[in-house]
Amino acid sequence: MKKTILLLGGARSGKSRLAQEMAKGISARVLYVATATAGDADMQQRISRHRKERPASWQTLEATCNLGQSISGSSKNCDVVLIDCITLLVNNIFCRHEEKQFADIDEAILDNEVQQEITDLIDCIKRTAVSFIIVSNETGLGLVPENRMGRLYRDCLGRANQRLAQIADEVYFLIAGIPVRIKPTGDLAALL
């Protein structure tokens, strides 16, 4: 049965590991969508390590943006699409703009770009007959970022996460490797 799962949590909370285990439990026919870019030696090593951790039978799609369109064209031979991660997708959108622009850029410009990407992804999820597992960081639990770019990033990612959570069948929040189910919730009437 097709379903959409969203995994949220902080850095190193176990989101990617759980996503891979969930994907394996659904099917061996997995399309792994990697949104990271190898901008420096550290990221190159991380990407290489992640590749080695995935089963060799999985297909990999490297897509830094235009996920909906990219997945639609690549999901024919899979039963589950694992997207890791929305956090880096939003970062990639921000990187289209020069750092000096963030002092004056209209927040609506960035938010529109992020929201269009999420709209296209949601449309893809709705029209594609496979399950989706989506990984994203929860950035709203820490201190308010000290600079405008950090605050804009937190806000845009937070709104993207909200939209994905709305359409997801299941949402989990990971803390120290332990998943806590957020959606569907239990019967609140029974608690009152």
Distance CA 144, CA 150 (A): 8
Please say whether the beta carbons of 151 and 102 come within 8 A. Answer: no
Three-state SS annotation for 59-85: EEEECCCCHHHHHHCCCCCCCEEEEEC
Asked about 50 being catalytic, the answer comes back as yes
Burial of 76 (0-12, 13-18, 19+ CB in 10 A): exposed
Q: What are phi and psi of 39, to 5 degrees?
A: -75, -20
Please say whether the beta carbons of 174 and 141 come within 8 A. Answer: no
Query: Token pair of 135, please?
Result: 């990984």
Residue 4: how many other CB atoms lie within 10 Å: 20
User: Among residues 29, 50, 159, 183, which one is catalytic?
Assistant: 50
Residues classed as catalytic: 50
